[in-house]
Structure 1
Amino acid sequence: MPLLDKIARDVTDLQTGLRELKASQDQASRDHSKAIEQLQASQDQLARAFRAAKNDAVGAATPARLPPRPPPPRSPRFP
Structure 2
Amino acid sequence: MTIQLSPEQQQWLEDQVAAGHFSSVEQAVAVAIADLMAMAEDDLDWAKPLVDEAAAELDRGEGVPADEAFARIFKSLDR
| Greater relative CO, 1 or 2 (CA 8 Å, sep 6+) | 2
TM-score by length of 1: 0.37
Q: Which has the higher helix share?
A: 1
Whose Rg is larger? 1
TM-score by length of 2: 0.37
